[in-house]
Structure 1
Amino acid sequence: MSDHENASEMVQAEALNPTSADGGQQTLTLDGRVYPMEALPADAVVVLNDLIRCENELNEHRFRLRQLASAQQSMTVTLTQLITAAGLEPIATVDGAQVDAAQSEDEAA
């Protein structure tokens, strides 16, 4: 993982978790430094909100990808069961090592 990715992850993890200091003041931790939230300039608040939205969307997409991967695995199992139930036999393997007798005879002729 590159330094940029590490820094990005740290910023996201820290920036997206504003905390309350002892006096009830919300703070933002960024690059190991703590800032009071009310002191942030307006444009920094906009960027922080955008960062939070991006993180939320990224998490939603990660969740959707996990759903799709699970569905794909389930469909693969179902397809395998349907092929087996139909009594189909493979005519070859991906590397071509296993070929059924009928196909071998056709190739020899």
Structure 2
Amino acid sequence: MQLVEVCTLDDVPVGSGRAFTVGGRRIAIFRVAEHDVYALDDLCSHDEASLSEGDLDTEELCVECPMHGSLFDLRTGKPRTLPAFAPVATYRSEVRDNRVFVEFSD
């Protein structure tokens, strides 16, 4: 496993998400609090919509797919509602010196 720098905290305002391409993977970084971020695959498992463009619920720690409304848990990637039934991959993330790092396997 290796930590890869993805962005700075300033790139993702609190209460929002943004997609980045890292090592050929499109991932979404969601910032739910000042130094609290989550990383998961950006594409919905149901219909390949960009999850980073969905509505973020910082209290429930989930994001709503903008296409069909499935809710995905930011911690596990599992859908909480239909029509999605398959999870999306999640990645361990951490913040160091105002920079966001995500852990990927080689």
Normalised to the residue count of structure 2, the TM-score between the two structures is 0.22
Relative CO higher for 1 or 2, CA cutoff 8 Å, sep ≥ 6? 2
TM-score normalised over the length of structure 1: 0.21
- Over alpha carbons, which structure has the higher Rg? 1
Higher strand fraction: Structure 1 or Structure 2? Answer: 2
Q: Greater helix share, 1 or 2?
A: 1
